[in-house]
Amino acid sequence: MTQPAPASPVFWRFNPEVFRLIGIKCQDCGHISYPRTKICHECGSQKLEEYQLPKRGTIHTFCVNWAPPPTFEPPIMPVIVDLEGGGRYQGLMTEFGAPEDVKIGAKVEMVLRKLTTDRGLNVYGYKFRLVEE
């Protein structure tokens, strides 16, 4: 359960999913899932096609974490975001003013940011920021 090194093959393997936001859409029932599965969660079909998710969504819930994982400076604001059209992404908020501005139901968009530094290498990933409606 230790953190893989930044050069681990796991990052390369998850590249389409984590960085290109490729989820799956079931050809039988139309269910959209993110993260990807091998078997449709809704109907059990294995006829799945890749599906490009949008980089927009709505905050489902959040917290303000004052005791974050090692290498992160507190506070961080983890969010669960329901993506437009289906799928769910867990990540961190960025570029918010006051924590009070972050609310359940707020619209957000994804931006690529450095998440942390691990063993001398930068680790990149998506964060969310609030969008004006």
Partner 1 sequence: MSGSIKDRVAIIGMGCTRFGELWGKGPSDLIVEAVNEALADAGIEIKDIEAAWAGSIFSGHGGRSVSEPLRLQFKPVSHCVNACASGHDAVRNASYSVAAGIYDIVLAVGFEKLKDEGTSGLPGMDNLTHTHAVATMPGMFAMMATKYFHRYGLSPQEGKTMLAKISVKSHYNGSMNPKAHLRNVLTVERVLNAPIIAWPLGLFDCCGVSDGGAAAIITSAELAKKFRPDPVYIKALQICASPTSGRLTTDYDFTHVEEGYRAGLAAYKEAGIKNPRKEISMAEVHDCFSITEAVTMEDLQFSQRGKVKEDIDAGTFELTGALPVQPDGGLKCFGHPIGASGIRMLYELYLQLQGRADKRQIKNPKLGLAHNMGHEPLAPTVSVCIVGL
Give contact residues for partner 1 (rule: CB under 8 A).
1-4, 8, 10-11, 14, 17-18, 31, 33-35, 37, 41-42, 60-70, 72, 76, 78-80, 82, 86-92, 99, 104, 115-116, 118, 123, 125
Shortest spacing between CB 131 and partner 1, in angstroms: 19
Q: How far apart, in whole angstroms, are the C-alpha atoms of residue 109 and residue 67?
A: 25
Assess contact for 48 and 27: CB atoms under 8 A: yes
Cα distances (Å, whole numbers) of residue 12 to 17, 18, 57: 10, 10, 25
- As measured in angstroms, the least distance from the Cβ of 82 to partner 1 is 4
In the complex, what is the shortest distance from the CB of residue 133 to partner 1, in angstroms, rounded to a whole number?
Answer: 19
Nearer to partner 1 among residue 41 and residue 47 (C-beta): 41
In 3D space, the residue among 103, 119, 120 whose CA is nearest the CA of residue 128 turns out to be: 103
Q: Is the Cβ of residue 3 or residue 131 nearer to partner 1 in the bound state? A: 3
